Chain A
Amino acid sequence: MPVSDSTAAVGDSAHTGGVADADERSAVSRTSQVVRQLRRNSASRVGLYVIGLVTLVALVTTIDADLFDYQFAATFWYHPENDPAGSTILLPPVGIENSFGTGTWAHPLGTDHRGRDVLVRLVYGTRIAVQVGLIATGIGMTIGTVVGAVSGYYGGWVDDVLQRFVESLYAIPFLILVIAIMSAFGRELGIAIIGVSITTIPVFTRLIRSQVLSVREMEYVEAAKAAGVRDRHIIFRHIIPNSFAPVLVQSTLQVGVNILIVASLSFLGFGVQPPTPSWGQMLAHSRQYMIVNPWFSLWPGLAILATVVGFNLLGDGLRDAIDPRSND
């Protein structure tokens, strides 16, 4: 849970000497205040539940797919290849009729163009969305934060060079940048994660740089400088931890954005390649069957929407809890 992470990070940062002791106490009490605020906010509770569910599903399906080669899916879940009656393609959801037949409980959400169960593929598609969403945001946040902190702290030519670099990344529309990266280095999960991470870097660099510019002049940073503390120490132990709150909010929202990017990539055919299921790819397939089985187009979109809403609800809730003045 991101909330407890924040406690750990802020707490760790403060074990570094007299200057930060006051910070530690206030950070801990602030964190518990934030947690209390979040609990009271029903919207962020819903967000947390959605994220918890989606992460759990992603974890279970990842273990099954990567360690057991889809054994769990094959044994406990319906698998078209094992169906003696043969699989009917493009079945509608249970109880609804179309030109291919009537939906049954064997396939609650219907089947796809190859007779595979839509629900099972939807569940296994969670894996790609969550993996890319979380890991890419994590990598982008880490690099972006360090670059932004260094840029803001040193100023001068270091800042100039780093800012031009970040602006360049910003200038290429992110979808096109990731597509170019994936065409160059391969349409695999790892490459997708790297590509999306790179588009995430500028978001955090800008955010943290503006934070650092205001934190840089604070008394405790001045005091640390005067006491002869090394720059690296000041950046990693004082400046970054003290800019943590907005980064946490932005990370939560960014996971949602990145999940949308992954889905878009898959939709355009540049994501993870079949037969590995992903939500965007399911939507791309469904495009050809919109007239005969429009239901097929409905479910993957709903899955994306619900997941992204979850991260946005939590992100908004965190922002309100951290900054009670914000009205949003």
Chain B
Amino acid sequence: MTTTGYIGRRLLQIVPVLLFVVTVTFVLINSIPGDPVRILVGPAADAAAIEAARARYGLDQPLYIRYIRYVAAVATGDFGTSIHYGGVPVTEKIFERLPVTLLLLASSFTLAIGSAIPLGIFAAKNRNNGYDHLARITSLIGVSTPSFWVGLLLIIVFAYYGDLLPPSGLVMPWADPASVDGATSRLDVLATAASHLILPSITLGTLQMAAITRIERSSMLEVLNKDYVHLARAYGVSERTILRRQAFKNAQLPVLTVIGIQMTTALGGAVLTETVFNINGMGNLIITAVRAQDYQLIMGTTIFFAIVFVLGVLVVDVLYAVIDPRISYGGGAGE
């Protein structure tokens, strides 16, 4: 099977997955007690006003009709309108918040991958000595620590006591200088953006860093014990060349798997990080939506997250094949 055929088949498999996600979300959301229309129109509204609002949002229809309508709408990219934000389309709200979360994710993953891969290799190279133990203990603590607690501690130390970095909010690097406090030039905006990004990125990136360090270390160790590496050593190839030329690339497949798994964790982690640092991203949007019982907004954001994740997994699977040509795109039950 060709690469294009493989990608096509995988895209087709996504359809039932997303349909299931839409169904589960729809059922769950419609089980939430409480009436969003009442929250919307306020306690003073009379029965006629309530009914009018209900009809406007299509909530007067039976459940199965709403379900069919919703699935049909989602298929055309229409996620409905947000009651909480006064009738704004859900997609508009998502695309308004998305860049913030993407910036946070990109910066935390850069930090995590950039530090974890060298650290993991370094630990593997120094197996069982002091550096290795330090790296192992650090990553053990990293995977065992609640990220939001890391955030709280960072705020206490660096924002309140050290007074070095801002405790909340996020500034986009492409923001208009006039809209950013105390900024007169693009450079000021960039500096402000960076200073706001440091603590949230560490908070979100700690878990990823630790998980990637662990897998990088054990994967490198496994490759370094392979016969062909022993053979290269016997031929007098330097340890540096072995690490660079032979071991590194072959050790990256399991690392890629872990990075892929970390993507879902990171989406959940973004909810926590954005809460701790009061950042107006996707995570905060979901929490606001749940608190306000904004049906359409909860469903839209959840389904959107699922789409992002499913596509992310697809990208990882394709990358796999690029890194390791031995992996076939075979039919069968295997993935």
A and B bind: yes
Say if the beta carbon of A181 comes within 8 Å of chain B.
Answer: yes
- Whether A297 lies near B156 (C-beta < 8 A) is yes
- The chain B residue sitting closest to A280, CB to CB, is B146
Tell me how many residues of B have a C-beta within 8 Å of chain A: 55
- Whether A304 lies near B146 (C-beta < 8 A) is yes
- Whether A290 lies near B152 (C-beta < 8 A) is yes
Which of A88-96, A107-115, A162-170 touches B?
A: A162-170
Q: How far is the CA of A263 from the CA of B146 in the complex (A)?
A: 8
Chain A positions within 8 Å of B146 at CB level: 260, 263-264, 267, 280, 283, 301, 304-305
Chain B positions within 8 Å of A175 at CB level: 268, 271-272
A interface majority secondary structure: helix
- The chain A residue sitting closest to B22, CB to CB, is A168
Q: How far is the CA of A309 from the CA of B271 in the complex (A)?
A: 23
The one of B156, B217, B293 in contact with A294, judged by C-beta atoms closer than 8 angstroms, is B156
Q: How far is the CA of A297 from the CA of B146 in the complex (A)?
A: 12
Say if the beta carbon of A176 comes within 8 Å of chain B.
Answer: yes
Q: Which of B53-107 contact A (CB under 8 A)?
A: none
Q: Which of A38-76 contact B (CB under 8 A)?
A: none
Q: Which of A274-328 contact B (CB under 8 A)?
A: 280, 283, 286-287, 290-291, 294, 297-298, 300-301, 304-305, 308-309, 312-313, 316, 326-328
The one of B141, B268, B334, B335 in contact with A173, judged by C-beta atoms closer than 8 angstroms, is B268
- Whether A164 lies near B13 (C-beta < 8 A) is yes
Chain B positions within 8 Å of A305 at CB level: 141, 144-146, 149
Q: Which of B1-30 contact A (CB under 8 A)?
A: 13, 16-18, 20-21, 24-25, 28-29
- The chain B residue sitting closest to A279, CB to CB, is B146
Contact with B along A173-188 (1 / 0, CB 8 A): 1111001110111000
B90 nearest CB across to chain A (Å): 15
Interface centre among A164, A172, A264, by most B CB within 10 Å?
Answer: A172
Say if the beta carbon of A268 comes within 8 Å of chain B.
Answer: yes
Chain A positions within 8 Å of B160 at CB level: 290-291, 294
Chain B positions within 8 Å of A18 at CB level: none
Interface centre among B141, B144, B225, by most A CB within 10 Å?
Answer: B144
Say if the beta carbon of A2 comes within 8 Å of chain B.
Answer: no
A positions within 8 Å CB-CB of B:
155-156, 159-160, 163-165, 167-168, 170-176, 179-181, 183-185, 213, 256, 260, 263-264, 267-268, 270, 280, 283, 286-287, 290-291, 294, 297-298, 300-301, 304-305, 308-309, 312-313, 316, 326-328
13 contacts between A and B (CB under 8 A): A159-B333, A171-B17, A173-B265, A175-B271, A175-B272, A176-B286, A184-B32, A260-B146, A264-B146, A290-B156, A301-B152, A305-B145, A313-B140
